[in-house]
Structure formats: structure tokens, C-alpha cells
Structure 1
Amino acid sequence: MKHKLPYSILILDQEPVRFFKTIPYLQEHFFKVLLVDTISAFELHLLHDKPDAVLIRLDFAQTDAISYTQDLKKRFDNDIKIILFKDPPIEDYAVELALQSGADGVIHFQYKAAILTPFMRNLLRRKKSLQDQLKISDFIIDDERFEVRFKNIPIVLPKKEFNLLKILMDNPDHIFTKEELSEVIWNDIRIAQKRTIDVHVYNIRKAIHKLIIKSYKGKGYRYNQNFLSVIK
């Protein structure tokens, strides 16, 4: 059965080969991806394909990405989400200028699909819903209502903890480092240096079950796909 791809992303990068491993992963997670390396091709797809979001390299050689973002915002308003990306480090002033120009996000992008997928999904959820609910046995996470239900009992989680749990569940085979989670949820890699993520994981375990998230010493966190079978 061929899945409908409800989200489309148009990517502008002068080195598109770096996305070749990322695109199949995005497609598996219900994204249609268009990848171009020139402004002319980008403009053509922009008008004909009407993507939900665009990713533009911050230091793209053919144009000033900040000015181009301002132009896109004037032309499309909020119909298209605009994300600027660059290999780290990104200077604070560049982030400030990008956000002031109308960008919806600025990311340190290491071309890891497991980071990009939840980041884009969270951003585009504001436009339309990809999946109303993620249901696993007795556990339901409803990202339209920001509601978690475990064995039919509603559980209230703060927004950051809800997003953290959803990202882990969306990518159950991936061990997320603190740096990745900091980038996706807070858009600030400096969060990884604090105990913020540890505290949020602790709170999620306390609210739902201690086995729901697995810790990997020196690596990070992953959703425990077996926790429901273990506690039955």
C-alpha cells in the first residue's frame, strides 16, 4: 500500500549530495522531498509544487539567505515554513538576524534524518496534522490535544515533556543524544550542557512509568518499545 505524503519539503543546498541518505528516511516518515542546488530551480519548484516548508542553507553561495527569507515571507506570509540551516557553529548574531527576517527556525544541521524528521513534524503540525494519534496498545499520545492516555487514564504533561516523549516514540529505534534533543525541542544546543533533559525524562517516568524511556550511559535516551509488555 502506497502511503500518502501529506507534507512536502523543498531543500536548497549547494552540496545536495549530503542529503542523499536523509531523503529516503524522510520519505518513509511521510514527507515528500524536493532537493535543488540553484535559486532558479528552487523558484520553479516553489511556484509549481507549493511546498509546506523550505530548508535554505544559511551560507548559500548564490544569495543572501537572510534577505531571501525576508522576500519569501513577503510573498508567502505563513503559507510556507522557512528553516535556515548551517553546519555548526552558528553565531548568535546570525540566528538573531535569521529570526528577525521571518525564519521559523534556525538549526545546526548535521544531516541526521532522525533529528530533521521530528523537527519538521513539530513545526508543520501547526499547519496541519500528520497523525492525530499515535496509539501503541494501552498507550495513546494525541498530539492534536497534547494529551497522553495510559490505560484510559489521562496524563497531563508540560509541553516540553510531551514533545520529548513524542519525538522518542516517533523514532523508537534511535538513541537520541542530549545534543539532538536540545536541537529539536529547544533549538538551543546549549541545553545539553545542563540537567534540563535529565529532569524532563525523570518527570515523564514519574508520570507514566519508570520503564517508558531507556537510558544509555554516555549516549542518550530511547523510547522503550517493550515497556508495556514488561509491566502487564
Structure 2
Amino acid sequence: MKGRSKVETMIRIGLYALLIALFVYAFQIGAFTYIAENPSEIAYLVGQHIRMVAISSAAAICCAIPLGIFITRPQFKRFEFLVINFANIGQTVPSIAILALVMTYLGLGWQTAVFALWFSSLLPILRNTIAGIDSVHPAIIDAGKGMGMTQKLILWKLELPNASYAILAGIRTATVINVGTAALAFLIGGGGLGDLIFTGISLYDTGIMLSGALPVILLAITIDFMLGIFEKLIIPKGLQRKVEAI
């Protein structure tokens, strides 16, 4: 317990040190100067980036959680292999390849990027939903049945609250990954902060590249932090204490 806590603390300190070093380097090569001189452009690109991430993540949540619940029901359990392997495609196929395939049918633009981001976000949320519900102890379900609860009440009052930690962890992971992957939307005319990143790469200008990369990093950190707070508000207190004790 204590040894693992020390390792986690050291890793966290190392990541913070690396992040600070990156910001210092970005300041030295003029990335912050570009951001300060073009605030309206940065704000516009950040808005595009957030819109793509928000729409694709919300669509993935609305699709993956009900689907995960569906295939954990005993009568539909046989479809789990098929559904999981379909969602696996979004993770095994490179993001650029997904963009290229979707672009063939939907054309260029942000809608193609949103679809690709949605598809690649399904697996973490779906897997965690299934794992969370399957991990609920059978004794809890039996207790609910003994109290006369219907299957619907058992799902809403017992299974989902006890699976909430795993489900929210999947949402958190998928959303943060989406923030980084959304930078590729520039390649198909989807906009976002990838505009600055790839422009900087093509011009061999590290300052411009980092002026797009740094907001992506800050956006990912901010979203992760906000979702962490949301987890503490949603997850039952007893389950939080159980998780922290592991």
C-alpha cells in the first residue's frame, strides 16, 4: 500500500516536472508570444476543438453505456463477443485510417472528425460499463431480489451505483484521449488546435506547433480534473472509501 503510494507520488512529481520543463521551453522559443499576439485565433480554434470533443464524447456515452447495460442482461449475454469486437475496431485501427475511411462517405469537415472520434471512444466506455456491472457481488443482487426489487430497480438502485466508479473511469479515459486525437481533425478540414500543430510542423516552426499543442495539453488536464471532481460528486460515498482503501 505505502510502497505503491510512494511510486504513484514519484510518477506524479516526474510528470509535473516534465510539464513545467515543456512550458519553460515553449516560453523560450516564443510559443506564448504567438498565443498573446493571436488571442482571437486561439480562442476560435479552442472552441472548435471543444465542440468536437464534447459532441463525440456525449454521443459515445449515450451509445456505449446503454449498449453495455444491454449485453450484461442474461438473455443478451451471448452478444457480448460480437459487440466488444465491433468496438475493438475503433482502437485497433489507427485514427488516421478511420478518418480516411469515414471521409470516403461523409466527405471533409468536422462531422467526419466527430464520427471518427465517437467510434474510437466506444471501447473504453463500453468495456468499463460491462466490467463495472459484472463486478457487482452476487450477494448484493440476491439481497435486492429478497427485498422484492424488480430487475429494473436492481439495475438502477444496485448495479449502476456500484458500477459507477468503473463507468466514470471509462468516460474519463475516453474523453481525455479524444482531446488529443481531435488534433488530427485538421487533416480532413475539421479545424481545431491541430491547425496550429500541423502548420508549425509544415513550416518547421516549433513555436507555432507548441502554441497549438500547449492548449491541447491544458485542455486535457482541465477536463481530467473536472471529471475527477464529477466522479466524487456522483460515486456513492461508501464506494469511494472502498476504492481508496484498495
Settle same-fold status: TM greater than 0.5: no
Bigger Rg, which one: 2
TM-score by length of 1: 0.31
Higher helix content, 1 or 2: 2
Judging by fraction of residues, say which structure has more strand. Answer: 1
Which structure carries more relative contact order (alpha carbon 8 Å, separation 6+)?
2
